[in-house]
Structure 1
Amino acid sequence: MEKLFVDKTIEINAPVSSVWDAITKRKNTDEWALEFSSGGPQFHIESSWELGSPVYWKGKDGTVIVEGNVTALEMNKLLRFTVFDVRSSARLDVSEEDGITFKLSEEHGVTTLHILQGDFSVMTDGKIYRDASAGIWDKVLPKIKMLAEK
């Protein structure tokens, strides 16, 4: 079966450390994570962003909606974490590359941010979920860019 990933890249006129902060600092994640609510409950992301640490997407009332763990970390270069909707009864098997991956590289003060999310092929209607997620990343990446370029 063909793997299904969201695969997007954006160039940001800011040093890699500013982009990293835009991705990981709570005040920033509060802004871009809202795009994932798609009219549903608003939530924020909580994590210490250390290898193996939990990642929680919590609603306004503190209820965990999505949970995962940091599975790869290289400061200012790579961050990967799994994502599981706790409202779903099925826990799908994940591979080393699954979840949300941020890859960052800087050249001459411009940071390239590459995101990869998936593998959606393990889900029923995975193509629909992949396409919906791609549309959300089209809103999230410009927000991360704006936060990093402030």
Structure 2
Amino acid sequence: MKDHIEKSIELKAPISRVWRALTDYREFGEWFQVKLEGPFIQGQIAQGYITYPGYEHVKWEVVVQKMEHERLFSFTWHPYAVDTNKDYSKETPTTVEFRLEKIPGGTLLRLTESDFDKIPSERQFDAFRMNEGGWEEQMKNIEKYVAHHS
């Protein structure tokens, strides 16, 4: 099994627009389908609840790692942590990185989620499979979002 997921998409929007969609917690919440309690601040926890139908009871929590203006936004989290009866805090989190690059006509957004090999073996396959599909959907979501919210 691979230890990371990679996705990329060419967005027909300037870097500044894509950056805002990624790092403004209200905008991020709209396309990512999560209601966040407050802004993303490097080195701090960002949390809220998933708004995706059927998962509204699931708490969403990340630790913001890097915010390099219009270049890199990254956080760590516990992938596919949807069982509200389970404590995921002892697990090693995965790292999610969004990298932005100016291209003719817009922005190249590259997503990487790494360190799946560090989470418990009994959760690796499902976490990887769910996030692989989830990131596919989220890349489409941000594409639609920046196209309709300029």
Relative to the length of structure 1, the TM-score reads 0.76
Q: Matched residue of 2:141: which SS?
A: helix
For these two proteins, the number of residue pairs brought into alignment is 137
Partner of 2:99: 103
| Separation in structure 2 between the aligned mates of residue 3 and residue 55 of structure 1, nearest angstrom | 28
2:124 corresponds to which of 123, 126, 138: 126
Residues 52, 69 of structure 1: 8 Å contact kept: yes
Q: Matched residue of 1:51: which SS?
A: coil
1:76 corresponds to which of 49, 64, 70: 70
Q: Matched residue of 2:70: which SS?
A: coil
**1:65 and 2:59 correspond:** yes
Structure 2 alignment gaps of length 5 or more? none
Q: Matched residue of 1:48: which SS?
A: coil
| Separation in structure 2 between the aligned mates of residue 66 and residue 30 of structure 1, nearest angstrom | 11
Structure 1 alignment gaps of length 5 or more? 35-42
Shift in Å at residue 106 of structure 1? Answer: 0.7
1:44 corresponds to which of 35, 40, 46: 35
Q: Structure 1 pair 93/139, CA: closer, same or farther in 2 (3 Å)?
A: closer
Relative to the length of structure 2, the TM-score reads 0.76
Residues 8, 116 of structure 1: 8 Å contact kept: yes
Q: Structure 1 pair 49/109, CA: closer, same or farther in 2 (3 Å)?
A: farther
Letter in 2 for 1:119: D
Partner of 1:38: none
| Higher relative contact order, structure no. (Cα contacts within 8 Å, ≥ 6 residues apart) | 1
Partner of 2:7: 8
Q: Structure 1 pair 128/64, CA: closer, same or farther in 2 (3 Å)?
A: closer
| Separation in structure 1 between the aligned mates of residue 64 and residue 110 of structure 2, nearest angstrom | 17
Task: Provide Cα deviations, 1:58-117, integer angstroms capped at 9, x if missing partner.
Answer: 257x977132211112011101111134833242134xxx32211111123420111112
